C-alpha cells in the first residue's frame, strides 16, 4: 500500500491499487467526521484486526446518492482543520504499548524496498512532532517505459537494510504529548 500511495500521488495517475481496506481503516481512525456508522458500537474481539471496527453496511447512502455523497466529502475535506483530526486514536502512547511500531529501517518484500521512519510522524504515536531528519532519497530515478519506473537507492538504504532495523529512542526526538 505504501508504494501504491506513492504511485497514485504522481502526476498523470488515474487510480489506486493496493489494500484499500487498510487505507479506509486508517482514515476512519484518524478522521472522525469521515467515519461510517459513527453511531454503531465499535467493539473488536481480542485478536481480531482493528479494521473490523468499521465493517458493516453504510446506512443512509444508496447507489443513487453517490454524487451527493461525493459533494458531502469534498465539503468536509475543504473545511478540515487540525481540530478535525484525532491525533491519538489508540491512546496516549501506543508506541510504548507496541514497541515494534517504533523502529527505523527498511520494509522489504521481493525486489521492493521502502525506507520506514516513524520519527516523521511522531504525533500519531503520542509525542510532540519535531522536524525530522531528511528522508532517504533515491540516488537515481528513471522511467524505462510508460507506466513503470525504476528507483535506485544508494548506500543509505543499503546500510539500513544490512542493519535490519534500529529502535527509535523517543527521548532523543521529543517529549510525551501533553494536552494541558
CA distances to 10, 52, 78, 126, 135 from 25, in Å: 23, 9, 21, 19, 26
**Listed residue (158, 160, 159) closest to 116, CA to CA:** 160
Average pLDDT over residues 37-57: 65
Q: Output 163 or 121, whichever has higher pLDDT.
A: 121
Q: What is the pLDDT of residue 88?
A: 76
pLDDT at 180: 46
- Position 175 pLDDT exceeds 60: no
Q: Chain-wide mean pLDDT for the chain?
A: 70
**Residue 105: its H or E element:** strand 103-109
| 106: three-class secondary structure by DSSP | strand
Question: In terms of pLDDT, which residue wins out, 48 or 166?
Answer: 48
List, in sequence order, every residue forming a beta bridge with 58; answer none if it has no partner.
Answer: none
pLDDT at 99 (0 to 100): 54
Q: What is the pLDDT of residues 35-44, one digit of tens each?
A: 766 655 566 6
Cell numbers of 115, please?
Answer: 525506507
130-168 pLDDT per residue, tens = 787 777 677 777 877 777 777 777 766 666 666 555 656
pLDDT band for position 62 (50/70/90)?
A: low
Mind listing the pLDDT tens digit for each residue in 78-119? 888 888 888 777 777 665 655 555 666 666 666 666 777 777
pLDDT at 25 over 70: yes
3-state percent breakdown (helix, strand, coil) of the chain, nearest 5: 40, 15, 45
Q: List the domain boundaries for the chain.
A: 2-84, 94-173
Per-residue pLDDT, averaged over 58-75, amounts to 68
* Predicted TM-score (pTM) of this structure: 0.47
| Strand-pair partners of 105 | 116, 165
Amino acid at each position: 500500500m505504501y508504494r501504491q500511495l506513492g504511485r497514485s500521488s504522481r502526476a498523470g495517475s488515474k487510480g489506486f491499487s493496493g489494500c484499500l481496506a487498510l487505507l479506509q481503516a486508517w482514515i476512519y481512525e484518524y478522521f472522525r467526521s469521515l467515519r461510517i456508522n459513527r453511531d454503531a458500537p465499535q467493539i473488536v474481539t481480542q485478536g481480531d484486526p482493528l479494521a473490523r471496527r468499521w465493517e458493516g453496511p453504510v446506512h443512509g447512502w444508496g447507489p443513487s446518492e453517490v454524487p451527493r455523497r461525493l459533494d458531502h466529502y469534498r465539503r468536509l475535506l475543504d473545511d478540515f482543520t487540525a481540530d478535525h483530526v484525532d491525533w491519538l486514536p489508540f491512546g496516549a502512547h501506543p508506541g510504548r504499548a507496541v514497541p515494534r511500531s517504533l523502529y527505523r529501517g527498511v520494509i522489504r518484500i521481493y525486489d521492493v524496498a521502502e525506507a520506514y521512519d516513524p520519527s516523521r510522524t511522531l504525533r500519531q504515536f503520542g509525542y510532540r512532532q519535531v522536524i525530522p531528519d531528511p528522508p532517504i532519497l533515491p540516488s537515481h530515478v528513471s522511467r524505462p517505459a510508460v507506466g513503470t519506473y525504476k528507483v535506485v537507492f544508494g548506500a543509505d538504504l543499503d546500510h539500513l537494510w544490512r542493519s535490519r532495523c534500529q529502535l527509535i529512542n523517543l527521548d532523543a526526538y521529543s517529549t510525551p504529548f501533553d494536552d494541558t
